[in-house]
Structure 1
Amino acid sequence: MRAETDPSGSGAHPDEWFASAKKIYPMAVHGTFRKIKWAVLFATLGIYYFLPFVRWDRGPDAPDQAVLVDMAGRRAYFFFIEIWPQEVYYLTGLLILAAMGLFLMNAVAGRVWCGYLCPQTVWTDLFLWVERHTEGDRRDRIRLEKQPWTLKKIGQKISKHTLWLMIAWWTGGAWVLYFADAPTLVMDLATGQAAFAAYLWIGILTFTTYALAGHMREQVCIFLCPWPRIQAALTDEEALNVTYRYDRGEPRGSLKQNLKREAEGLPAGDCVDCHQCFHACPTGVDIRNGTQLGCIQCGLCIDACDDVMDKVGKPRGLIAYDTDENIKRRMEGKETFVRIVRPRTVIYVAVILLITGIMAYALATRELEGVSVLHDRNPIYVELSDGAVRNGYTIRLLNKRQVQRDFILSVEGMPEGTRLEAVGINQGVSGRPVIGVGPDTTREVRVLVFSPADAEMPKTTPITFRITETVMGEVATGTDFFKAP
């Protein structure tokens, strides 16, 4: 097995390999894993490009875009879920779930994320498809690079880069649609009336997509992305990885050489040294050299090898998802096994289920109203001429529903005879302020609390402000203190 620092399997230092690296021309392959990659590509890009246009009715005066990050309104919408700025802990939960999901995939099948779901892989696959349809497959592209510049070559190059830029431009355009009403923003962009920030981000993402997926490709996976280094520390000997089964393939040689060796009674492997696995690899890895940093576990070398095995009349699976431990067991004549359920994977699944359960419970039980209290700092309290003491507060009421709601404000923890006033707010029938809060918004009010003149109170009294919704009786509280001389 080659060292993890050797992407090419050549034994060279990464800096030396980078300096001597040649352009990679992956060939087109057909098979099970290529079909899986196409399915993932169409599904993920379909979601990414068209999800901003999906509508979701949230009632009058509310955004009807199913997935929207409303920076101006300080909200994030995901279908029936609405996230406020103070609920950023949901984002923390999602990040933990994403990390645990990556760890679980790595424990089961190595860099399966890199090979199928990573945005770099998905867009690179799409760009390679365009390249093949404009310039031809591997041999055609190599031949084209060596040819002098002709009108035909110029036309092929212009066609390829034009299509790349169009895909990159729509990639950046789709991204900004998640931050504003998609149909409206499309019209504004087309008529030149959109905000400068929209054009700026489209330009940035167009350039990065074009550069990363079109030109840098395998360099992103090998040199820029930190995940290969991280996953190398997380993997174990029981994780399934794309593996060359050298117990069956060696000694390798051409088909004629191997047949001759078999006729002479000498050992001969199934590998016919055709290099199709190497030519199919999008990162230029020869999997026969063992696990390497550049291998993204995409399985395309498996499809290429299986196709060759079919042609030479050998069983499929010379390259397959397997473990080094199984190869050793086969060489010793022992039975092989695949153990997906083991302590590592059980722990990852348990953490994922726990975090998911906590987030689901928090969403199901979260309050749709709230109150926050800020005590005046200067002066902290005021002694009145009649002996009473006044404390001032700034109270913000929160209404997460899409309808206007009225809340009765009261204070608890103060002695009997305490008076509560909200500046500019009429007192209700009960003598307590009734504060109206608009749909899906907050309202800030100035509140004064007066202690009775003859009350004996400690210098600091913990108090609770309570708001009670007038129709459904929903309650929220906020705590602070009352200061006395």
Structure 2
Amino acid sequence: MSSSDSTPKLYKAREPIFPRRVSGAFRNLKWIIMILTLGVYYISPWLRFDRGPKLPDQAILVDMANRRFFFFWIEIWPHEFYFIAGLLIMAGLGLFLFTSAAGRVWCGYACPQTVWTDLYILVERWIEGDRNARLRLHRQKKLDFRKVRLRVTKWIVWLLIGLATGGAWVFYFTDAPTLLVDLLTGNAHPVAYGTMAVLTATTFVFGGFAREQICIYACPWPRIQAAMMDEDTLVVGYRHWRGEPREKHRKGIDTSGLGDCIDCMACVNVCPVGIDIRDGQQLECITCALCIDACDEVMDKIGKPRGLIDYMALTDEPLEIAGNAPKPIWKHILRPRTIMYTGIWSLVGFGLLFALFIQPDIDMTVAPVRNPTYVMLSDGSIRNIYDVRLRNKHGEDRPFQISTTGSDDLLVDIEGGEDQTVLVPADGTKLQRVYVIAPAHSGPATSDRTPFTMWVTDTINQDRASTETVFNGKGN
């Protein structure tokens, strides 16, 4: 034996996993969720929504050029980024809630890696056959025409799915029909082609080849989930007290002392991450519950009750061994931890809804010009300069009037205008320089700092917005 053969390897070589087809309630639920999530992802950029002549009519649009986000009738501007932050907080709390209640159900049903991997395995099964056929093709050393044809066909379909995935992503950032024409005619921006190429490659590799390795090694959630779970969390588990000792049931063998498990390996053969759930809870398990469907199918065939593999909590097993009924599912779900997560999640959601409903159609920000702090005019009056950014969220141009409150001595002068009115373009902003003047011997002129409020009024519907600021005087 050479020295290289005797040296232990740092990493175990990956053994390809070829999940067997299975049917059942949880597999059907995964199909439904896969159809819904993929449908929403691919179709959403093509939904239209009429916002008027000067706004985009794409229902869901991340307008990077104008720094705005559109979701049907909702319009989020850059200064309203707290909406995005709130949604991210709700997503995190929702993940905590579902994990504490039912383990890694997000990973098993709705995670993009799981959804696209399921789709790629479905294509693989259509082209190469079910588990045994794919295993024979994998173990076949000879590279004949049939193997090349099947592999090339599968990879082409995978690439087309990856291309559609990357294409759908870039459609969210500009008008989808226009971008599609530009992509087909070669007139799209290089960033669009580059983004599509990267997403096509990652979808192809992650869904077609890496698969469970992304869940096991690349994703941090398996390491974090333990902090979200406790002994009352519902997870996929194997009832040892009922299944052991396990042995294949053959004719002529006394099965009176054996458990219900016949060691058929059905639960292992359908597992997308290749684990044996009978070995107990494992980091790799994504709680997809396909092993439950496979085991229930076998139990039906041999005349045993279902539930040898099932959703259960650690607190249920001692009760079942003692012959008592386990806790109802609602008691596992409604407990202090999940109630706390639900409460916080609801508070954030209600806060976002409240902020959305009170969202004004006009807004302003005021930035005092600090160099110079003030200017003394020829008649002795004091002038401060402010840069005022006005926002008009209406679909047509609106005249805005600027005024002040807090001191009767302050006068407003608009740069470039004869009065205090500014025309702000539809669904846009305008940076306006505003002069605030205090007469020579007035209180604001002779004081160091005088607080006041600057107001902007929509002269059409009388909507108002305000910002508190300070007038700098020359002091005594």
Relative to the length of structure 2, the TM-score reads 0.94
The residue aligned with 2:283 is 293
The residue aligned with 1:145 is 138
Deviation at 1:107, TM superposition (A): 1.6
The residue aligned with 2:4 is none
Instruction: Kindly indicate whether the alpha-carbon contact (under 8 Å) linking 1:258 and 1:269 is maintained by their aligned counterparts in 2.
Output: no
Q: What amino acid sits opposite 2:288 in the alignment?
A: C
| Residue aligned with 2:172, SS | helix
Question: Of 426, 431, 441, which residue of structure 1 is paired with 2:418?
Answer: 426
Instruction: Kindly indicate whether the alpha-carbon contact (under 8 Å) linking 2:33 and 2:110 is maintained by their aligned counterparts in 1.
Output: yes
- Give distance in 1, aligned partners of 2:371 and 2:90: 45
Deviation at 1:258, TM superposition (A): 9.9
- After superposition, residues 23-34 of structure 1 pair within 5 angstroms as 23-34=16-27
The residue aligned with 1:386 is 379
**More displaced stretch, 151-160 vs 386-395:** 386-395
Q: Residue deviations 1:425-482, cap 9 Å, x none?
A: 121xxxxx11111111111111112211221431111121111111211111122211
Residues 113/399 of structure 1: CA separation in 2 closer, same or farther (3 Å cut)? same
Q: Quick check: 1:247 aligned with 2:241?
A: yes
The residue aligned with 2:274 is 284
Q: What amino acid sits opposite 2:151 in the alignment?
A: K
Question: Of 450, 454, 457, which residue of structure 2 is paired with 1:468?
Answer: 457
- Give distance in 1, aligned partners of 2:282 and 2:249: 27
Instruction: Kindly indicate whether the alpha-carbon contact (under 8 Å) linking 1:120 and 1:217 is maintained by their aligned counterparts in 2.
Output: yes
The residue aligned with 2:428 is 441
| Residue aligned with 2:194, SS | helix
Q: Quick check: 1:484 aligned with 2:473?
A: yes
Instruction: Kindly indicate whether the alpha-carbon contact (under 8 Å) linking 2:267 and 2:277 is maintained by their aligned counterparts in 1.
Output: yes
Deviation at 1:412, TM superposition (A): 2.0
Q: What amino acid sits opposite 2:455 in the alignment?
A: R
- Give distance in 1, aligned partners of 2:472 and 2:49: 49
- After superposition, residues 393-432 of structure 1 pair within 5 angstroms as 393-416=386-409, 418-427=410-419
- Give distance in 2, aligned partners of 1:295 and 1:41: 19
Q: Quick check: 1:356 aligned with 2:349?
A: yes
Q: What amino acid sits opposite 2:362 in the alignment?
A: E
- Give distance in 2, aligned partners of 1:320 and 1:388: 82
- Give distance in 2, aligned partners of 1:349 and 1:166: 40
Q: What amino acid sits opposite 2:438 in the alignment?
A: S
Corresponding pairs, count: 461
- Give distance in 1, aligned partners of 2:78 and 2:15: 48
Residues 258/220 of structure 1: CA separation in 2 closer, same or farther (3 Å cut)? farther
Q: Quick check: 1:72 aligned with 2:65?
A: yes
Q: What amino acid sits opposite 1:32 in the alignment?
A: A
Deviation at 1:179, TM superposition (A): 0.2
Residues 369/179 of structure 1: CA separation in 2 closer, same or farther (3 Å cut)? same
Deviation at 1:59, TM superposition (A): 1.1
Q: Quick check: 1:182 aligned with 2:176?
A: yes
Q: Percent identity?
A: 47
Q: Residue deviations 1:52-78, cap 9 Å, x none?
A: 000011111111101000000111001
Residues 325/18 of structure 1: CA separation in 2 closer, same or farther (3 Å cut)? farther
Instruction: Kindly indicate whether the alpha-carbon contact (under 8 Å) linking 1:176 and 1:201 is maintained by their aligned counterparts in 2.
Output: yes
The residue aligned with 1:453 is 440
The residue aligned with 1:12 is none
Structure 2 unpaired stretches of 5+: 1-7
Q: Residue deviations 1:26-59, cap 9 Å, x none?
A: 1111111111111111111011001100001111
Deviation at 1:22, TM superposition (A): 1.2
Instruction: Kindly indicate whether the alpha-carbon contact (under 8 Å) linking 2:380 and 2:440 is maintained by their aligned counterparts in 1.
Output: yes
| Residue aligned with 1:401, SS | coil
- After superposition, residues 204-353 of structure 1 pair within 5 angstroms as 204-256=198-250, 260-262=254-256, 267-337=257-327, 338=329, 339=331, 340-353=333-346
Deviation at 1:324, TM superposition (A): 2.3
Instruction: Kindly indicate whether the alpha-carbon contact (under 8 Å) linking 1:415 and 1:451 is maintained by their aligned counterparts in 2.
Output: no
Question: Of 179, 192, 195, which residue of structure 1 is paired with 2:189?
Answer: 195
Instruction: Kindly indicate whether the alpha-carbon contact (under 8 Å) linking 1:415 and 1:455 is maintained by their aligned counterparts in 2.
Output: no
Deviation at 1:146, TM superposition (A): 2.0
**More displaced stretch, 470-479 vs 192-201:** 470-479
- After superposition, residues 363-378 of structure 1 pair within 5 angstroms as 363-378=356-371
The residue aligned with 2:153 is 159
Q: What amino acid sits opposite 1:50 in the alignment?
A: I
Deviation at 1:312, TM superposition (A): 1.2
Instruction: Kindly indicate whether the alpha-carbon contact (under 8 Å) linking 2:455 and 2:467 is maintained by their aligned counterparts in 1.
Output: yes
- Give distance in 2, aligned partners of 1:188 and 1:230: 43
Instruction: Kindly indicate whether the alpha-carbon contact (under 8 Å) linking 1:24 and 1:283 is maintained by their aligned counterparts in 2.
Output: yes
Root-mean-square deviation (CA), in Å?
1.5
Deviation at 1:257, TM superposition (A): 8.1
Deviation at 1:166, TM superposition (A): 0.4
Deviation at 1:391, TM superposition (A): 1.1
| Residue aligned with 1:446, SS | strand
The residue aligned with 1:44 is 37
| Residue aligned with 1:61, SS | coil
Instruction: Kindly indicate whether the alpha-carbon contact (under 8 Å) linking 1:58 and 1:64 is maintained by their aligned counterparts in 2.
Output: yes
Q: What amino acid sits opposite 2:432 in the alignment?
A: V
Instruction: Kindly indicate whether the alpha-carbon contact (under 8 Å) linking 2:249 and 2:255 is maintained by their aligned counterparts in 1.
Output: no
Q: What amino acid sits opposite 2:68 in the alignment?
A: R
The residue aligned with 1:4 is none
Deviation at 1:335, TM superposition (A): 2.4
| Residue aligned with 2:373, SS | coil
Q: Quick check: 1:95 aligned with 2:88?
A: yes
Deviation at 1:259, TM superposition (A): 5.0
Deviation at 1:414, TM superposition (A): 3.1
Deviation at 1:20, TM superposition (A): 3.8
Q: What amino acid sits opposite 1:88 in the alignment?
A: F
| Residue aligned with 2:461, SS | coil
